């Protein structure tokens, strides 16, 4: 494959792996907070777990094209290529731990605090490692201690929106569908996530702008200027501005507005994955490559998560 196709592969790998892991993280938060109104959302998130083991296999495929993506890997037999393998092993272990913790978390349908806490810890640590090695290393020598938290929180935000979109769209007349009050609660959750996501964005931007360090400003310049300049504004609009405008009024806490906003949030996250990867990669993807690779990943994700129906994932223990 060309460098552009491999870059599109990495962006989609991050997006769909985040959907699976972030959906499980949201379900773990539902368990910890005993949010019974979110039972239909948890049932939808349960299906996403099936993609996590597949992500481990897809990561092995990603390693094949790593030198076509990362500029700092000069040659397959060069010293930097040899330096890459310890990071690859670390990422493989991190991803495998997330998948194993996810399987263990979902092995029981009744909420358990210990399992939820263990998965959230594995998710936070594991995706922090992936954020550093797979994304932040593209901008080397740029580095940020806030960036890993920004990534794993953004994953959960997008996954919650995706789970909400599927639940609201496909379970409308189901006996376990969200009630009107539940949809309003989902709107409030998405609004809260959007505000926190914007806080992370602003905190990252402010530190780079105020510090005015060459390496950091250069990295930010690649994301905000030139060919990619419109994309950050589209992402900001889809993930913060429109959710804020639509979901604050009471009229926005209904099924259709919530579904529309959830779709925008998920689409904005897809664009964000490309924004974080493509400007610094060895070969930016073409529009055809991005659409084609996304279609392939979507079909694979849909096949894995819709292969069979799960039994209800929420039971009253009382």
DSSP string across 157-188: HHHHHHHHHHHHHH-TTSTTPPPHHHHHHHHH
pLDDT, residue 208, reads 82
- Backbone phi, psi, residue 112, to 5°: -130, 130
- Tell me if 158 is assigned to some domain: yes
List the one residue out of 32, 103, 92, 108 whose CA is nearest residue 60: 92
Number of domains within the chain: 1
Residue 68 belongs to domain with CATH number: 1.20.1630
pLDDT over threshold 80, residue 75? no
- Tell me if 66 is assigned to some domain: yes
Q: What is the DSSP string of 197-220?
A: HHHHHHHHHHHHHHH--HHHHHHH
- Tell me if 316 is assigned to some domain: no
- Tell me if 318 is assigned to some domain: no
- Tell me if 317 is assigned to some domain: no
Distance CA(283)–CA(223), nearest Å, equals 15
141 preceded by a cis bond (ω within 30 of 0): yes
Q: What's the rounded mean pLDDT across residues 173-196?
A: 87
Give residue 34's pLDDT band: very low, low, confident or very high (50, 70, 90): confident
pLDDT over threshold 60, residue 254? yes
Give residue 315's pLDDT band: very low, low, confident or very high (50, 70, 90): very low
- Tell me if 129 is assigned to some domain: yes
pLDDT, residue 82, reads 53
- What secondary structure letter does DSSP report for 112? -
Angle at 107 between CA 102 and CA 110, to 5 degrees: 110
Give residue 174's pLDDT band: very low, low, confident or very high (50, 70, 90): low
pLDDT, residue 49, reads 85
Distance CA(87)–CA(203), nearest Å, equals 28
| Helix, strand or coil, per DSSP, at residue 282 | coil
pLDDT over threshold 50, residue 243? yes
pLDDT, residue 144, reads 84
| pTM for the predicted model, two decimal places | 0.88
Higher pLDDT, 200 or 213: 200
- Other CB atoms within 10 A of residue 277 CB: 24
On whether the CB atoms of residues 26 and 114 are closer than 8 A, the answer is no
Domain span at 30:
3-303
Rounded to the nearest integer, the mean pLDDT of the chain is 86
Rg of the chain taking only CA atoms, in angstroms: 19
pLDDT over threshold 80, residue 265? yes
- Other CB atoms within 10 A of residue 244 CB: 15
pLDDT over threshold 60, residue 81? no
- Tell me if 87 is assigned to some domain: yes
On whether the CB atoms of residues 303 and 256 are closer than 8 A, the answer is no
Q: What's the rounded mean pLDDT across residues 65-88?
A: 68
């Amino acid at each position: 494959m060309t460098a552009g196709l491999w870059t599109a592969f990495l962006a989609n790998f991050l997006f769909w792996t985040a959907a699976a892991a972030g959906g499980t993280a949201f379900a773990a938060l539902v368990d910890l907070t005993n949010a019974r109104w979110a039972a239909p959302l948890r049932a939808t998130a349960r299906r996403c777990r099936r993609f996590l083991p597949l992500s481990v296999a897809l990561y092995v495929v990603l390693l094949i094209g790593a030198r076509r993506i990362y500029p700092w890997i000069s040659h397959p037999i060069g010293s930097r290529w040899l330096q890459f393998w310890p990071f690859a092993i670390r990422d493989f272990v991190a991803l495998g731990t997330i998948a194993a913790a996810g399987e263990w978390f979902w092995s029981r349908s009744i909420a358990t605090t210990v399992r939820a806490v263990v998965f959230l810890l594995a998710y936070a640590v594991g995706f922090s490692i992936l954020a550093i090695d797979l994304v932040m290393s593209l901008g080397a020598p740029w580095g940020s201690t806030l960036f890993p938290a920004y990534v794993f929180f953004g994953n959960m935000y997008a996954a919650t929106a995706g789970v909400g979109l599927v639940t609201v769209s496909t379970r409308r007349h189901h006996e376990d569908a969200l009630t009107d009050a539940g949809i309003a609660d989902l709107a409030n959750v998405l609004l809260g996530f959007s505000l926190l996501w914007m806080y992370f964005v602003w905190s990252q931007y402010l530190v780079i702008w105020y510090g005015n360090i060459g390496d950091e400003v250069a990295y930010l310049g690649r994301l905000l200027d030139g060919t990619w300049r419109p994309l950050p504004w589209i992402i900001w609009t889809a993930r913060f501005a429109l959710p804020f405008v639509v979901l604050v009024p009471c009229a926005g806490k209904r099924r259709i507005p919530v579904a529309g906003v959830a779709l925008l949030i998920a689409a904005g996250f897809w664009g964000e994955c490309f924004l974080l990867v493509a400007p610094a990669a060895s070969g930016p993807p073409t529009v055809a490559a991005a659409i084609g690779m996304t279609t392939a990943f979507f079909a694979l994700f849909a096949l894995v998560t819709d292969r069979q129906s799960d039994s209800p994932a929420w039971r009253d223990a009382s």
